[in-house]
A and B are shown apart, each in its own frame.
Chain A
Amino acid sequence: MSGFLRIAGRDLQLAYRARGEALLAVAFFLLVAALFPLALGPEPRLLTRIAPGILWVAALFAVLLSLDRIFLADREDGSLDLLYLAPLPLEAVVLAKILAHWLSSGLPLVVCGPLIALLYDLPAAAYPVLLAALLLGTPALSAVGAVGAALTLGARRGGILLPLLVLPLYIPVLIFGVAAIDASLLGLSPRPQLLLLAAFALASLPLATVAGAAALRQALE
């Protein structure tokens, strides 16, 4: 088994042992989305109109909850030094961490996305688009978030700095993710928005591994 799979596998194992945390993030995601109808009143047309935006904003916040875990625990118990010395490039370590974070924190949000669509009574045609948008968008959230987590490792109060650093970088995912679902609600093709989401994910993954590894090297010194 390659070192890449070992690291990703161990992170998944750790996430599974602490699965309460992942469930909390999912519960947070659903709860935030469920609060808006209570706050804005039961107006079906308004709720359908704002559903895509609420879904994505709630997803961004839920992802934020688990970001600082990506590297902080490994730094605090000394594992990060050993991962740095492991016989694979640091970029591969970062990519393994991003993959494990997405599988443990991003994928549960994708799975629960339809529940929110149900809550807001979205038409059936919107479901596949919503799932596709979440599937394409959430990997980018993990990738960009890992860079933020690596950058704030050495900082005091890094937990507060992290959302301030990462949320602005999440804006493209938010815009195109919402636009894709909006398009399907209006009966238009969501293809261009989905392609842009895919492009953002594909560009952010290699960039995030390089930037994340550079940030980790800084943090080690």
Chain B
Amino acid sequence: MSAIVANDLACQRGGRPVFSGLGFSLSAGQCLLLGGANGSGKSSLLRILAGLLPCSAGSLTWDGAALDQDPLHHAGRLHYLGHLDAVKPALSVAENLAFWAGLQQGRHGEEALLHFGLARLAGEPARRLSAGQRRRLALARLIAAPRELWLLDEPSVGLDAASREKLENALADHLAGGGRAVIATHQELGPAQAGRLDLNAFPPRHPDREHAW
């Protein structure tokens, strides 16, 4: 069974340790919810999983192969959705989605706009969108190009109840199809049986402090 396995993972940002000794395993069809206080390293963990940030210690493997062995291949099987929406105000809603979907070799742009209720706004310049609508446009990328692993950082921020349900539906479809998801969230999200990882439980060790003198 192919699984993403993190073992004794540690992270530093700007020389400051964020977490250490973190481990989990994620199989196909599973969802992992990241919890923990602000600054506990949820976003950093997602960036590490995406290959945007190196971990300072530990190992991270998918099906036994290290994630950083072939970064281009790894990048091709994941969606990363950070705090920022990567939406260009000067382009229309459809143009924004078409660019990313095209780059990520996805063909389901229209379907994605429909799912998140953006079809009516397709021709509007993205600068006219509200924050929640922009978020929905960013979420539409998930559907436009199917990927095995979703890495979502507070995906439901700014969404109304109806849109959150659409996100839940998309997530359920994704998991049912054998996809995986790692989601940092403070809100209730994802299936009830989703795994939970509390980053407060992995405070950084301070190896440097002993040698600081």
Tell me the A residues contacting B by CB distance below 8 Å.
1, 3, 6-7, 10, 13-14, 17-18, 76-79, 81-82, 84-89, 220-221
Interface on chain A toward B: helix, strand, loop, or mixed SS? Answer: helix
**B91-111 to A contact mask, C-beta < 8 Å, 1/0:** 100010001101111000000
Known A-B contacts A6-B103, A85-B75; A79 and B52 likewise in contact (beta carbons under 8 Å): no
Question: Is A10 in contact with B80, judged by CB distance below 8 angstroms?
Answer: no
Known A-B contacts A14-B90, A17-B91, A220-B52; A1 and B85 likewise in contact (beta carbons under 8 Å): no
Question: Is A77 in contact with B99, judged by CB distance below 8 angstroms?
Answer: no
Contacting residue for B86 out of A79, A89, A220, CB 8 A: A79
Known A-B contacts A6-B103, A87-B75; A82 and B80 likewise in contact (beta carbons under 8 Å): yes
Known A-B contacts A6-B102, A10-B99; A81 and B76 likewise in contact (beta carbons under 8 Å): no
Tell me the B residues contacting A by CB distance below 8 Å.
50-54, 72, 75-76, 78, 80, 82-88, 90-91, 95, 99-100, 102-105
Complex-state Cα separation, A3 to B104, whole angstroms? 8
Question: Is A85 in contact with B78, judged by CB distance below 8 angstroms?
Answer: yes
Question: Is A82 in contact with B78, judged by CB distance below 8 angstroms?
Answer: no
Contacting residue for A79 out of B50, B76, B88, CB 8 A: B88
Residue of B nearest to A73 (CB): B88
Question: Is B86 in contact with A82, judged by CB distance below 8 angstroms?
Answer: yes
Q: Distance in Å from the Cβ of A111 to the closest Cβ of chain B?
A: 23
Question: Is A87 in contact with B105, judged by CB distance below 8 angstroms?
Answer: yes
Q: Distance in Å from the Cβ of A38 to the closest Cβ of chain B?
A: 37
Interfacial chain A residues near B52, Cβ < 8 Å = 81, 84-85, 220-221
Question: Is A89 in contact with B72, judged by CB distance below 8 angstroms?
Answer: yes
Question: Is B75 in contact with A86, judged by CB distance below 8 angstroms?
Answer: yes
Question: Is B86 in contact with A86, judged by CB distance below 8 angstroms?
Answer: no
Q: Assuming A78-B82, A84-B75, what are 9 further A-B pairs, CB within 8 angstroms?
A: A14-B90, A18-B90, A77-B85, A77-B86, A77-B87, A78-B84, A79-B88, A84-B52, A221-B53
Interfacial chain A residues near B85, Cβ < 8 Å = 77-78
Known A-B contacts A78-B82, A82-B80; A87 and B72 likewise in contact (beta carbons under 8 Å): yes
Residue of B nearest to A220 (CB): B52
Q: Distance in Å from the Cβ of A124 to the closest Cβ of chain B?
A: 41
Interfacial chain B residues near A88, Cβ < 8 Å = 72
Interfacial chain A residues near B88, Cβ < 8 Å = 10, 14, 77, 79
Complex-state Cα separation, A162 to B109, whole angstroms? 38
Complex-state Cα separation, A117 to B166, whole angstroms? 61
Contacting residue for B102 out of A1, A14, A221, CB 8 A: A1
Complex-state Cα separation, A79 to B83, whole angstroms? 11
Q: Distance in Å from the Cβ of A2 to the closest Cβ of chain B?
A: 10
Q: Can you give 27 contacting A-B residue pairs, CB < 8 Å?
A: A1-B102, A3-B103, A6-B103, A7-B103, A10-B88, A13-B91, A14-B88, A14-B90, A17-B90, A18-B90, A77-B85, A78-B83, A79-B86, A81-B50, A81-B80, A81-B82, A81-B84, A81-B86, A82-B80, A82-B103, A85-B78, A85-B80, A86-B75, A86-B103, A89-B72, A220-B53, A221-B54
Residue of B nearest to A75 (CB): B84
Q: Distance in Å from the Cβ of B126 to the closest Cβ of chain A?
A: 10
Interfacial chain A residues near B54, Cβ < 8 Å = 221
Interfacial chain B residues near A3, Cβ < 8 Å = 103
Interfacial chain A residues near B103, Cβ < 8 Å = 3, 6-7, 82, 86-87
Complex-state Cα separation, A76 to B83, whole angstroms? 11
Complex-state Cα separation, A76 to B87, whole angstroms? 10
Interfacial chain B residues near A6, Cβ < 8 Å = 99, 102-103
Complex-state Cα separation, A81 to B52, whole angstroms? 7
